[in-house]
Structure 1
Amino acid sequence: MEPIPPDVMVRQVESLSGDLRRLTADTDERIRELLAARRGRTVREVILVGSGDSHHAGQAAELAFRTLGGVRCTPLSTLRFLAYGGTTPAGDDPGQTLVVGVSASGNTPLVVRSLEQARQRGAATLAVTGTQGSRVTTAAEQAVVVDVADRERSPGIRTYQANLLALLLLAVRLGGSPEGDGHVDEIASLGVLIDETLSASRAECRRVAGWCATAEGTMLLGSGPSYGTALYAAAKLVEAAGIGAAGQDVEEWCHVERFAYPVDAPLFVVAPPGRGHDRAAEVAQRAHKLGRRVVAVARPDDEAITAHAAAVLPVPGDVREEFSPLVYHGFASYLAAATAEALGRALFQSDRR
């Protein structure tokens, strides 16, 4: 396999706003058609199943299903779903549980098995994938195919956004609210903020990448939807640069990992306005006092967070917390690519012989 250079990630992330504009209306129409075909069958619980980026997308979308979709929602990794009772139906009618299997390639073996198992147990099933005719599309009763054209060999960036977009639109339409059309327009309009965020953060990502390249470990924190963003961003650093990086819940870091050395290791705090923001600000302040190099992924005027940061990766605009993962994950690709470049590494260790 030829080495995969880091600059592929830059091309991928700079395609995100165009993808969002191109995909939103068609994906929304497909989802509305699928829900109409269910002929009013009630959904009371949604289980989001995936591995890697697909699982991170589920974590990032959970709040939208709960608040905008009005349903119980549980994001599960594939093995947890298969081996530890993920298909227990909600209520007497197992068809009121919708199991959504997410796989960009459409051929992730455990996602296929999860959908098959869910159908055997009577749950409704839906595949979200980027690949028409893939195995998940036949394993599930219904499928949403979000096709990202001109793919390149890369850690998932455009495919991650595409699957996340489909999940958020599904959450909106499950809710059946009169405000649904407005929410869809709100999502489509985020392309402008994505571009502004990338432009504002690129140079600072290159500077902060130097810290990640020389650190013994890097932690990324978030809560709610931003926990999914933190997991995703950590995965990009691992896949691209081969460094030790991990995502963690804001509060859990405060209980455990704050005791880890080295005390000046980079600590990213993903903190959009929302339910967990105040606690994120408190943890950022505490981390700063402990000597951590806090990197705030936040609004530039959010002094509750930025006052304690050694660097700020700014998001220069407002976004609903449920939709914030579409905007707040962009820094990860710039950061991971720059870290790999600083270390002279190719993506996925593809330069190893």
Structure 2
Amino acid sequence: MLRQVTCLADDIRAHTGSVAEQVRALPGALDLAGIESVVLVGNGDSDHAARAVEMAFRSLAGVDCRPVSALPFTHYRRPAASPARVLTVAISVSGGSPLVVRSAEQARAEGGPVVALTAKAASPLARSAHGTVLLDLPGQEPSPGVRTYQASLLGALLLAIALGQARGHLDRAAADLLRDELGALADAVEATVDESIGRTRRIADRVAHAPVLTLLGSGPSHGSALYGAAKQVETSAVFAVGQDLEEWCHVERFAGPFDLPVFVLAPAGHSSGPARRVAQRAAGLGRRLVAVAPADHLDAFPAWAALPVHGQVREEFSPLLYHLFAAPLACHLARRLHRVPFAAGRSGHTPVPPTTPETVKEEER
């Protein structure tokens, strides 16, 4: 898992151009120029990525955008009045998540265009879509998703830029500059990872026995907070929750014990002011505040510990930098607590059986 973290910068350098070319080569039958809204569908890390890139589709593509988990999409959604103008982006690295596949099939059957973001070209999801952006990552190792999460973010952000260009919301020069910005973030990713690995080890030693970890963020950082919480649970079996900044003030701030660790994600942008205010409130309540913020803005936080984020980044692209602490922290917690990912081998742990066509049919019944 830590090896994956150290691969992230090189993945951006190696794959930004090729993924951008795939996005530009999507079939003309998708008619991206006529798209008015986007629905992003996924489960787990894919759902967190969808929530992290919602702002990018709204601002860079100029469309309405809604992230929807796969079960609400398949069981509670009403078909669009003009399905041809609603692009469904179905995200599943494995390409086999049953409800994500069913979401793509439903949207296509209703007459809407579907793009799959997946690492498996021959997967059920790819077969269900009109076009596929292949998130190929050579040398993958079994572990909670790290490189795959970044790949999903990168593919979705490049799709948002291409959609904005197709719709005339961005001209060619502006779109190319945005693509260059994404590729240039590799250096900031590398610097942030290098510092995060050591700092998260020290933080893990001090919070390993806390009853719960809380990660807070709004806008794109809400998706990053959800992803960060998921990594702690999957990797170290430490209970962690991701929450919106304002919602934490309304509910979770009343929970004890009052020295609970709280991680506040505070990139530059719309939520930076609210993040500082929530951080001050959390510290005033006695919380052990961990600030995840630009390296040159950490003085604004009354932090118990700090996780600096290096480089300048627009808020739409900030998810590529603000999740980087999560995997190292989870690894250090697992080592500190002598645990392994997905609670494998723990007493009373029952492995989840593999998904087969028969189990999917049983689930549907």
TM-score class, shorter: over 0.9
**Contact 1:298–1:305 under 8 Å retained in 2:** no
Q: Percent identity?
A: 48
| TM-score, length-scaled by structure 1 | 0.94
Amino acid in the other structure paired with 1:174 = L
Match of 1:152 in 2: 141
SS at match of 2:132: strand
Q: Distance in 2 between matches of 1:190 and 1:66?
A: 21
Match of 1:237 in 2: 232
**Contact 2:83–2:111 under 8 Å retained in 1:** yes
Residue 11 of structure 1 pairs with residue 7 of structure 2: no
Unaligned runs of 5+ in 1: 1-8
Amino acid in the other structure paired with 1:346 = V
May I ask how many residue pairs the two structures share in their alignment? 341
Residue 25 of structure 1 pairs with residue 17 of structure 2: yes
Aligned structure 1 segments of 4 or more residues deviating by more than 3 angstroms: 35-41
Unaligned runs of 5+ in 2: 348-365
Residue 88 of structure 1 pairs with residue 82 of structure 2: no
Match of 1:276 in 2: 271
| More off after superposition, 139-148 vs 276-285 | 139-148
Match of 1:163 in 2: 152
Quote the offset at 1:305 in angstroms.
4.1
**Contact 2:27–2:131 under 8 Å retained in 1:** no
Match of 1:340 in 2: 334
Quote the offset at 1:40 in angstroms.
5.6
Match of 1:225 in 2: 220
Q: Distance in 2 between matches of 1:94 and 1:255?
A: 37
**Contact 1:237–1:243 under 8 Å retained in 2:** yes
Quote the offset at 1:213 in angstroms.
1.3
Amino acid in the other structure paired with 2:278 = V
Match of 1:98 in 2: 87
Residue 57 of structure 1 pairs with residue 52 of structure 2: no
Deviations 1:18-53 (A, max 9, x none): 111111111101111116453565110100000000
Instruction: Tell which has more relative contact order, 1 or 2 (C-alpha 8 A, sep 6+).
Output: 1
Amino acid in the other structure paired with 1:321 = E
Match of 1:131 in 2: 120
| More off after superposition, 210-219 vs 37-46 | 37-46
SS at match of 1:149: coil
Quote the offset at 1:303 in angstroms.
4.3
Match of 2:285 in 1: 290
Amino acid in the other structure paired with 1:155 = P
**Contact 1:345–1:351 under 8 Å retained in 2:** no
Q: Distance in 1 between matches of 2:216 and 2:90?
A: 26
Deviations 1:135-155 (A, max 9, x none): 100011111111011111100
Match of 1:320 in 2: 314
Q: Distance in 2 between matches of 1:60 and 1:277?
A: 16
| TM-score, length-scaled by structure 2 | 0.91
SS at match of 1:122: coil
Quote the offset at 1:316 in angstroms.
2.2
